[in-house]
Amino acid sequence: MRLIKELMTCTATVGLLAGLAATPAAAEKWDMPLAYAATNYHSENAADFAKCVGVGTKGALEIVTHPSGSLFKGNEIKRAVQTGQAPIGERLLSAHANENAIFGIDSIPFLATSFDAAEKLSQAATPTLEKILDSQNLVLLYSVPWPPQGLYFKKEVNSVADMKGIKFRSYNTATARMAELAGMLPVQVEAAELSQALATGVAEAFISSGATGYDRKVWEQLTHFYEVDAWLPRNTIFANKDAWNGLDDAKRAAIEVCAKTAAKAGLNRAIAYTDFTLNGLREGGMKVQKAGDQLRADLNKIGETMSDEWLKQAGAEGKAVVDKFKGM
């Protein structure tokens, strides 16, 4: 018995030493702030990306994800990475369209309304986005779409006239502008705080994917989801340029390989999460339906105004990206 015990202790010690030997002494740790729930597919995808980097660098670079805005809130993440407070992070770039209109390219109403079109638009925009992010001390790694955007209300809505005066939660410049043009009152709220904003009456309606409505269990307050397919915004994953330049070639190569895998896996997850979450809204008791003709026509008009405004703000650089997309 004693012998067995001794043998077990010995085996455990050898195992522990082997484990220690396999971990290089100078393992580097990167904290990765995320804005959305741990169970959301963006966060799960980022966790897999982190795992992939760990394996690809044989443990020499450990990326630790921090979902739900726990390390930095959504609206703080970009600045945190730019300034090196975090070496890597994920952010909805369209929320920063006030810095550069091109960041809002994925939120132009009715320009790209399917996963296929959204991927093409992203491809068309990537070189320009890389350049702009580079000028902000950021390295673009990959991006992943949200499902098509639809409208959430706590009553039946058949036209834009029905929306007048409603307190509308926005998540970027485009959603705030849409609210204004529809006669609603925009209030910017991060997804992590959405349930609370609805529960306290700070917001009564919003535009988003089925995914965010599902994650935030909005059936507890709201009753109707109208499928509008207005656009498919993206979460972009970027690194601080100094942190990136500080990595050796092998680590950078591992990140690049994992980023490519994560982009593909993220897209597939987004597609799968679309129907799953719309069904989840139904199961929660919400009426999920296509927007009616009048509502659609009214939104198209608002969309035209917003597209014109965007083109004016984004100038020749923006037009070039849109033209490239349209020619794909």
Residues that bind ligand PCA (CB under 6 A): 92, 146, 171, 191, 208-209, 211-212, 233
Nearest position to ligand PCA, beta carbon? 209
DSSP class per residue in 111-172 = TS-SHHHHHHHHHHHHHHHHHHHHHTTEEEEEEEEPPPPEEEESS---SGGGGTT-EEEESS
Residues 6+ apart with CB under 8 A from 18: none
Q: Whose Cβ is closer to ligand PCA: residue 35's or residue 60's?
A: 35
Spell 64-91 as b/e; 16+ CB within 10 A means b. Answer: ebbbbbebbebbbbbebbbeebbbbbbb
Minimum gap (Å) between residue 213 Cβ and ligand PCA: 8
Minimum gap (Å) between residue 115 Cβ and ligand PCA: 13
Q: Whose Cβ is closer to ligand PCA: residue 36's or residue 49's?
A: 36
Minimum gap (Å) between residue 198 Cβ and ligand PCA: 12
Q: Whose Cβ is closer to ligand PCA: residue 30's or residue 146's?
A: 146
* Nearest residue to 179 via CA among 153, 221, 207, 219: 207
Q: Helix 115-135 crosses helix 293-326 at what angle (to 10 degrees)?
A: 60
Q: Whose Cβ is closer to ligand PCA: residue 118's or residue 259's?
A: 118
Minimum gap (Å) between residue 61 Cβ and ligand PCA: 29
* Nearest residue to 101 via CA among 257, 308, 286, 273: 308
Q: Whose Cβ is closer to ligand PCA: residue 57's or residue 175's?
A: 175
Minimum gap (Å) between residue 168 Cβ and ligand PCA: 12
